[in-house]
Amino acid sequence: MHTPLIAGNWKMNKAIEEAVNLVREMRPGLNEVPGVDKVLCPPFTALAAVKELLEPTTIKLGAQNMYWEEKGAYTGEISPLMLKDLCQYVILGHSEQRQYFGETDDRVNKKIKAALAHSLIPIVCVGENLAQNEAGQTEAVVGGQVRGCLAGLSAEQVRGLIIAYEPLWAIGTGRPATGVGANAVIGQTIRGTIGDLYDKATAQTVRVQYGGSVNPKNVAEFMSQVEIDGALVGGASLKAADFVEIVRISAQVKEASS
């Protein structure tokens, strides 16, 4: 039984003052929930301000992306050196980065290695689109992403990762996967591929989240599944009451099933 990890991905939302107000609103509720790792991932511009608010709490901080080089002539990019003193986690390979900005498994792989080299914990996103899902290609696509993203990593490195299964057809659509369906993909395809690449123990050690239209009404369905170790939450993480409730329900469900 893993400690569940609930991460809120704010995406391109909340200027600094708005971010501060949102954290102040959700901080008391989040901080009092035990048995769950809680991570907030605001935009780069709000990281420093949010960091100050989270330091006396049990809530951790994550970035939404990064480049793999430490420094240099890469205008507009953020390096692991710039993040490591601000946050503990970094989201890599999110579907929106893949869809809109040409992110590839090879680039994600480089970012993972750079993050780990600087003691940042990657939340590595994988998932198929609607056409691939309907064509029965989920296993091939998601398994291929796992292989590409983890290329050249040791079993020890992989054990320190978080993987987020985010089917593209479920993100921001209000059409989440079913708990049973997500559990099957995570158990058979994601953990199965890791087991093939490394060993069964490594596959079972990695924490795997589900992401895609998670909200207080459906989170229990996902967290009751044996293979699902948390959630990467988008829109609902921008509402303090909803995100706190998601964390509370997750803690209750996992405690009941332990």
pLDDT in tens, 136-182: 999 999 999 999 999 999 999 999 999 999 999 888 777 778 999 99
Nearest CA-CA partner of 148 in 174, 178, 111: 111
Q: Check pLDDT > 90 for residue 253.
A: yes
Catalytic residues, by residue number, are: 94, 166
Which residue is associated with the tokens 């964390």? 247
**Which has the closest alpha carbon to 119: 90, 150, 148?**
90
What domains are there in the chain, each with its CATH number?
Answer: 5-257 (3.20.20.70)
Q: Can you tell me the mean pLDDT for 74-99?
A: 97
Q: Are 91 and 123 in contact (CB under 8 A)?
A: yes
The kind and range of the H/E element at 71 are none
Q: Are 165 and 126 in contact (CB under 8 A)?
A: yes
* Digit-coded pLDDT (tens) for 41-69: 999 999 999 999 999 999 999 999 999 99
Q: How far apart are CA 146 and CA 190, in angstroms?
A: 7
pTM of the model: 0.97
What pLDDT does 257 receive?
A: 84
First to last CA, the chain: 7
Q: Which amino acid is at 219?
A: V
* Distance (Å, whole) CA 258 – CA 246: 18
For the cut 80, the answer to whether the pLDDT of residue 258 exceeds it is: no
For every residue of 213-230, which 3-state class applies, written as one string? CCCCCCHHHHHCCCCCCE
Give yes or no for a contact between 188 and 140, defined as CB atoms under 8 angstroms apart.
no
